[in-house]
Amino acid sequence: MRVIHELSERWFITHGRAMQNILFEKEKIGELELKNRFLMSAGTGTWNADQDNIPHDGDGYIHFEIASGGVAMVISGGLNVSPSGVSTSHSGMFADDRSAPFMSIFAKRIKDGGALACLQISHGGMWAWKYAKKRNIAPFAPSFIVDAELGDYSVSRRIDLPATEGQICELIEAYGNAALRAKKCGFDAVEVHAAHEALLSQMLSPVSNIRKDKWGGSVENRARFHIEVLRNIRSKVGKSFPVIMKLGVKDMLEGGLSFEDGVAAAKIIVEKGGVDAIEVSQGLSPGLLDFAYSSMRTGITRLENEGYYRHWAKLVKGAISHTGAKVIMQGGLRSFELMQEVIEKKEADFVSMCRPYICESAIIKRWMGSDRKKSACISCNKCIIRAYTEGKKLECVLKSGNGG
Ligand SMILES: Cc1cc2nc3c(=O)[nH]c(=O)nc-3n(C[C@H](O)[C@H](O)[C@H](O)COP(=O)(O)O)c2cc1C
């Protein structure tokens, strides 16, 4: 009798308590049901791509481990929809069916782990021009490319090179084709990367988009490319396939996208583009590895530093709630209680983390039990530095003992 009592008590702690919490309640994105409110935001270092930027190699992906750790949906790192968007030799491309065999395995292994699989599709825009030039591929930029390091938009170092109408239409098609390919590969959803340094951020920002035609000028015009990309995707994947957009709603640059325009853009994009969810993030920053102004902030040691896009996500949620589109909050979320409060107060519909899963793949399973201690991730960013600059496997240096 005592044994039964003890067992049922343990069951209550590990299951009953979890069931009671709003973070473990089901919710939908479009018509797709997620088993809880936790997502993994896009995060990869290298796609183990070959000389043609085709992703390979089924082993060593931390995403597979994370998928079995209790999270509802894993979003892959960004894959380029066109050769003109690839910026390094190890970046992955999803521009044709050569990428399909490995990406089908990637989706299946995430799903076998118990999570839904979402593919992020992206394009490097002006930052990909040097690599494009090396391979004799025409670069793609809203208005100009800069002959300098990331973030230096100065007039003296820029080469005017506005994409032609034909190039724009072709690229819109490429996003649609990539999304359809993702669906055929078995992914449950796609996410269009429109944040950080990605092409769609460059399109939305008045710093990098100085076009005078229908693709530039007013916020409606700067968001036109987003809407056309989403409409093209929808026409190909159908009504019930979830489409998410990770949207940068404010640039961290002088003269860049204002938050006011960012929210206006979010509203137009949802209303006219028919996207199912917006994952709120920032737009352009002054330099990729200047983490203080990037989406990967460091020094998240106190509760006050957590959730650095919380206020933005809450306001975006207010602006689009009439549409039924969902809002995903991310950016430095580390504590269970904070995320619970966010969902309880309806500031967002989902919460998402990236670095904490790299640090502890089964953090959600731990939280489903009685241990609700915050993530042990110290946001040192060594995971991304090693992966991007040294092409090493994505892992937490605290776990591997490789210099944490
Ligand atoms: C290793 C690594 C790779 C990332 N790659 C991408 C990416 O491909 N696309 C993207 O939108 N964000 C990318 N991010 C940013 C994350 O999705 C997320 O926005 C950011 O890390 C903040 O969340 P966090 O504090 O929970 O880590 C990456 C982050 C890391 C650490």
Q: Tell whether ligand 1 has an atom less than 6 A from the beta carbon of residue 63.
A: no
Query: Are 38 and 23 a contacting pair, CB within 8 Å?
Result: yes
273 lies in some domain: yes
Average pLDDT over the chain, rounded to an integer:
91
**pLDDT for 58:** 65
Domain CATH number, residue 320: 3.20.20.70
292 lies in some domain: yes
Give 332 Cα–ligand 1 centroid separation in angstroms: 10
The pLDDT tens digits of the residues spanning 45-60 come to 678 888 899 998 766 7
Atom of ligand 1 nearest to the CA of 334: 26
CA-closest residue to ligand 1 atom 1:
384
388 lies in some domain: no
CA-closest residue to ligand 1 atom 20:
296
The domain of 134 spans 18-378
The pLDDT tens digits of the residues spanning 343-395 come to 999 999 999 999 999 999 999 999 999 999 999 999 999 998 888 777 778 88
**pLDDT for 1:** 43
Q: Between residues 51 and 67, which one has the greater pLDDT?
A: 67
Q: Tell whether ligand 1 has an atom less than 6 A from the beta carbon of residue 78.
A: yes
CA dihedral over 234, 237, 240, 244, signed as positive or negative: negative
372 lies in some domain: yes
392 lies in some domain: no
10 lies in some domain: no
Q: How much is the average pLDDT of 149-177?
A: 91
Using the predicted structure, report yes or no on whether residue 245 has a pLDDT greater than 50.
Answer: yes
What the block records as the tokens of 381 is: 């960013």
153 lies in some domain: yes
CA-closest residue to ligand 1 atom 30:
43
CA-closest residue to ligand 1 atom 10:
42
**pLDDT for 237:** 98
Domain count, the chain: 1
Atom of ligand 1 nearest to the CA of 384: 1
DSSP string covering 121-147, please?
EE--GGGGHHHHHHTT-----SSEEES
Give 211 Cα–ligand 1 centroid separation in angstroms: 29
236 lies in some domain: yes
pTM assigned to the model: 0.94
DSSP 184: H
